Amino acid sequence: MSLHELIIETENLSKSYGDVTALKSLSLKVPKNSIFGFLGPNGAGKTTTIKLLLGLAHPTGGNGKVFNEEIEGKSIEIRKRVGYLAQNPVFYDHMTARQTLHYKLDFFFDGPKDLLEKRIEETLKLVGLEGKADRPIKGFSGGERQRLGIALAQVTYPDLLILDEPAANLDPMGRRDVLEIMEKLRKHATIFYSTHIFDDVQKVSDTVAILNNGELVAQAPIEELLSGNKSMVYKITMKGVNEKAHKMVMDQPWVSGIEVFEKNGHTQWLVSISDDETAEGIAIKPASSHDAQLGSAFTGLRGLKHCQGIERYSANYQCKRSPPCKRWLVGTAHKSRRSPGATNFRHDKRRNLCIGHE
């Protein structure tokens, strides 16, 4: 399958109820293995869109595809590959989490019993409910019930998860837990989720669509929306970055600002660039994945034309030139065509720092 395969695609999708237009000419594109945030206030048309995608409502106009299948006429085939979490999931409170997952799998799974039990255990661990798997659901907190809802959506190993307001009405700790689970699920499925909480969107989403009064207001990668303008934004994920590193980047004349987020034990920067032309002399391309490291966002440094790429920089090596550099960076997994695999720190005179690899 193509790296750029679209899991969801709609074109001018519309829905009216009598004289009330709930959705107006919605065009979305959701890439495979992305976390797509569908942001908007209550009543914006988010749940209506989800119903249309799942074939639970019929569009008034336009069309849509899920897995390249038309939502009109192919909804049953589509739903076989989708895990869905309703905004307010309902459970049999006298049952346990384990029994609930078992009950669902009995309808969908016809393999050996030991594999069924293994899948249930894996899912309970994924959502952090392994320690409460055999307690009645009636004693669960709101966050635990929501995590169980995600488990029910995921336990069939779907290709697409559609989550309707998965973190709504939860306290900050509950919201944090749900967002962490969504980040873990990225490697298993594409995630399309609706929310009215912008803070949640910027923590986990790759791409965001904003809906208001049934109309699409914006659709773009999260870093573009956060920048608020057409400037280039570099996304950098790293470990152990200190205030000196932050100041070093901010001191660059072509950097207009840095948004800092903590995510899964890593620090993420969204670096806004005020002068693309000058910046591109230093950084050729922005990082494109959540796993990209600091060096990925600043590859192609002048004076290092032979480099194939630097995966990570860290401010932990003092230049040994005499006199030493005022600033320094160390690159890891730096591959040189000139001397592959060799350890070699080079001094960049123009920037007065050392760049190399370990």
Domain with 209 in it: what CATH number? 3.40.50.300
Q: Which two tokens stand for residue 266?
A: 């890593």
Whether residue 72 lies inside any domain: the answer is yes
| Residue 83, pLDDT score | 93
DSSP for 143-167 reads HHHHHHHHHHHHTT--SEEEEESTT
Whether residue 242 lies inside any domain: the answer is yes
8 A C-beta contact, residue 347 and residue 354: yes
pLDDT tens per residue, range 292-326: 333 333 333 222 222 222 222 333 334 444 554 43
Q: How far apart are CA 351 and CA 170, in angstroms?
A: 48
Whether residue 317 lies inside any domain: the answer is yes
Q: Are residues 182 and 297 in the same domain?
A: no
Q: Are residues 126 and 247 in the same domain?
A: no
Please tell me the least confidently modeled range out of 80-89, 176-185, 211-220, 262-271. 262-271
pLDDT tens per residue, range 9-63: 999 999 999 999 999 999 999 999 899 999 998 889 999 999 999 999 999 999 9
What is the span of the domain harbouring residue 257?
229-357
For residue 269, pLDDT over 90 is answered with no
> Strands across the sheet with 255-263, in order?
233-238, 266-273, 255-263
Q: Are residues 184 and 81 in the same domain?
A: yes
For residue 345, pLDDT over 90 is answered with no
| Residue 220, pLDDT score | 86
| Residue 151, pLDDT score | 92
Nearest to 230 by CA among 269, 256, 206: 256
Q: Are residues 111 and 196 in the same domain?
A: yes
Q: Are residues 12 and 91 in the same domain?
A: yes
| Residue 193, pLDDT score | 94
Q: Which of 171, 189, 222 is the last residue of a domain?
A: 222
Q: Are residues 352 and 335 in the same domain?
A: yes
Q: How many CB atoms lie within 10 A of CB 197?
A: 16
Whether residue 324 lies inside any domain: the answer is yes
8 A C-beta contact, residue 195 and residue 37: yes
Handedness of CA 2, 312, 233, 45 (dihedral sign): positive
Whether residue 1 lies inside any domain: the answer is no
Q: Are residues 103 and 195 in the same domain?
A: yes
Q: What is the pTM of this model?
A: 0.64
Average pLDDT score over residue span 247-267: 75
| Residue 172, pLDDT score | 83
pLDDT tens per residue, range 136-186: 999 999 889 999 999 999 999 999 999 999 888 788 888 888 888 888 888
Q: Which of 197, 222, 247 is the last residue of a domain?
A: 222
For residue 358, pLDDT over 60 is answered with no
Q: Are residues 19 and 91 in the same domain?
A: yes
Q: Which of 171, 196, 222 is the last residue of a domain?
A: 222
Q: How far apart are CA 199 and CA 24, in angstroms?
A: 26
Q: How confident is the model at residue 1 (pLDDT cuts 50, 70, 90)?
A: very low
Q: Are residues 205 and 306 in the same domain?
A: no
Q: Are residues 138 and 237 in the same domain?
A: no
